[in-house]
Structure 1
Amino acid sequence: MTTGIVAVAMSDDLRHRLISDRDWDRLAAVAEVRPVPDAAADPGAVDGADVCITGWDTPSLPFSWLVGGDRPVLVAHTGGSVRHLVPAAALDHGVRITQVAAVLAEAVAEFAVMSIIAGLRDAVSFATAMRAGESWAALAARPPGRLLRDQVVGIVGASRTGRATLRRLRPFGCHCLVYDPFIDDVEAAGLGAQRIDLPALLRAADVVSLHAPVLPETRGMIGAAEIDALRPGALVVNTARSALVDSDALLTAARAGRVRVMTDVFDTEPLPPDDPWRHCDGVVATPHIAALTAETLRDQGAVTVDEVLRFLAGKPLEHEMSRAAYDTYA
């Protein structure tokens, strides 16, 4: 006996990557599961569903479905940001949302720390030179890297990912600063960091790692003046969103050799083959893969299915997004 209808509004390819056969069977055991591989072409396919499972290729959900029923529906997102799927007004009408930001944070934080260490040790440049046949003597004569233990690392944003990054930095013994207007000195100390304002962080940090959400208040928060304030040779790591930064100013600084950049996010994605971000010597660019691991994909699907089963059984959700959190989440 089924207890509801679950629409799965994502492409077949993405559905198979995220939802294992076991998790699909768990859903099908308690609900009528309705695949919707092209929700843009058939938005009415979610009508009557109690739950809609969404992915990063899901278009905005029909407002009529979100608020038109006689009981609240659940949007169960297999990614992080839900702003493109559900308008704030829908939450005011009782729509419930769950998402897997906590799962994604673990992978992104690991990638951020990897980027910090690789950037400080100039690992990519050394590997590229080795492949190009540079002599051993010339390689040995290059400037040495820097030890993470002796660096000041500035974390911009005490988000889930920012906090997970701070946890992973603790064993290295580096001095961590954190900027976030929503935490106080005591909370920052509990995270192993010193709370500081953004201008002071940018002046003091050897490494600046971005973990803030994109909100009206944070868009462009690292502008040309902020980039000019960075310490010479500072490393900027961005695994969050490119909209936090004046990309042109940052690229100019990297080209001039004033800063080095490890970035996983760009103003235009996919990044065109001729884009200058791909070809700047002071930049290591990766194709928005910080959260992309085989284990994370599996966990995204499993945690989402767990939440759907809780909802259908009338149990509390573990990853529900509140109305207040919606306003401060990317």
Structure 2
Amino acid sequence: MSARVVVALGDDLRRRILRDTDLDRLAAAADVVLTRDPAALDAADICVTGWDTPPLPPSSYMDGARLRLVAHTGGSVRHLVPAAALDRGLRVTQVAAVLAEAVAEFAVMSIIAGLRDAVGFATALRSGEPWADLAARPPGRLLRDQTVGIVGASRTGRATLHRLRPFGCRCLVYDPYLSAADATALGAEPADLPRLLREADVVTLHAPVLPSTRGMIGAAEVAALRPGALVVNTARSALVDGAALLAAAARGRVRVVTDVFDTEPLPADDPWRRADGVVATPHIAALTAETLREQGAVTVDEVLRFLAGRPLEHEITRAAYDTAA
């Protein structure tokens, strides 16, 4: 009997991520069912999940359940699969490595655009500000001559460091799980968080949300930032005291580029939409046409490896679950 694969993505997301050729590859190796009905998981061997998939019901991973693999087309699986499911033998794979490339590119773009105040200049030009007044504005800053602090040597943090190296800027990295030797190999200086915040002209966040990292950039840490520092958040809003950061931006003490928020979608009246000193984008750092296609292809590759009894390339082990995003 063929293995049953439940693709638990909404129609729109499934069409964006899984091409017909990907579904055909799945269908050639398994019985494929397209549904978000949680009850379908009781008869599934594998479940393909996405950003819009609801949390797995306990019946799907309790002792004796049929489900053996969750293949997630996104990054974090914490909202879908509890640690208890892995303890009972459920295997989980995801495509964070694919997303990291797009997010790192977006982070570097945000750093350069923030340092040069590209959005501010473009907005003022569109609003009709005289050319001479624009030319008299304070000039931007050269990335080469800045100190960039990377908070979190995650896949995305490392990919961001890799992309920063050609610019010649000094990089500091804070990650309690990263050795000094590994930091040096990445082209960065290891630093504790207070030193990083004190010395960095740019702080870019790439840490997972864990009990130890939730609110790690609190009001005291925001106050410790260098005057004029640029803060870029493409990770998770829960890492930061948003009210403290927003207030610092409103006072002109720091500038912020953020792609993540406590409430998403962001309400129409939310102050992040129109705050001075802030460039806000709607959680699109990982969203490119190429990345979406790769998410689907890599996920299907993982499912086919599993069905063939081959090692998975993107598995979240029980040990890694505790420190993964």
Q: The TM-score by the shorter chain falls in which range? A: over 0.9
Are 1:294 and 2:282 matched, yes or no?
no
For residues 200 and 34 of structure 1, the distance between their equivalents in structure 2, rounded to whole angstroms, comes to 52
Q: Which residue of 2 aligns with 1:120?
A: 115
Q: Which of 57, 76, 79 does residue 74 from structure 2 map onto?
A: 79
Q: After superposition, where does 1:174-323 map in structure 2 within 5 Å?
A: 174-323=169-318
Asked if the contact 1:56/1:79 (under 8 Å) is kept, the reply is: yes
Per the TM alignment, residue 3 of structure 1 is displaced from its structure 2 partner at its CA by 3.3
Q: Deviations over 1:34-81 (max 9, x none)?
A: 011xx3xx3211222110000011111122222344766000000011
The alignment yields a C-alpha RMSD, in angstroms, of 1.0
What letter corresponds to residue 230 of structure 1 in structure 2?
L
TM-score between both structures, scaled by the size of structure 2: 0.98
For residues 38 and 279 of structure 2, the distance between their equivalents in structure 1, rounded to whole angstroms, comes to 40
What letter corresponds to residue 305 of structure 1 in structure 2?
V
For residues 204 and 244 of structure 2, the distance between their equivalents in structure 1, rounded to whole angstroms, comes to 17
Q: Which residue of 2 aligns with 1:104?
A: 99
Are 1:327 and 2:315 matched, yes or no?
no
| Equivalent residues, number | 325
Of stretches 246-255 and 66-75 in structure 1, the one that deviates more from structure 2 is 66-75
Q: Which residue of 2 aligns with 1:161?
A: 156
Asked if the contact 2:232/2:258 (under 8 Å) is kept, the reply is: yes
For residues 74 and 123 of structure 1, the distance between their equivalents in structure 2, rounded to whole angstroms, comes to 45
For residues 3 and 312 of structure 1, the distance between their equivalents in structure 2, rounded to whole angstroms, comes to 10
Per the TM alignment, residue 253 of structure 1 is displaced from its structure 2 partner at its CA by 0.1
What letter corresponds to residue 131 of structure 1 in structure 2?
R
Per the TM alignment, residue 280 of structure 1 is displaced from its structure 2 partner at its CA by 1.1
Per the TM alignment, residue 166 of structure 1 is displaced from its structure 2 partner at its CA by 0.0
Q: Which residue of 2 aligns with 1:33?
A: 32
Are 1:24 and 2:23 matched, yes or no?
yes
Q: Which residue of 1 aligns with 2:14?
A: 15
Q: Deviations over 1:190-230 (max 9, x none)?
A: 00000000000000000000000000000000000000000
TM-score between both structures, scaled by the size of structure 1: 0.97
* Structure 1 residues not aligned, in runs of 5+: none
What letter corresponds to residue 189 of structure 1 in structure 2?
T
Asked if the contact 1:307/1:319 (under 8 Å) is kept, the reply is: yes
Asked if the contact 2:47/2:67 (under 8 Å) is kept, the reply is: no
* Structure 2 residues not aligned, in runs of 5+: none
Q: Deviations over 1:213-248 (max 9, x none)?
A: 000000000000000000000000000000000000
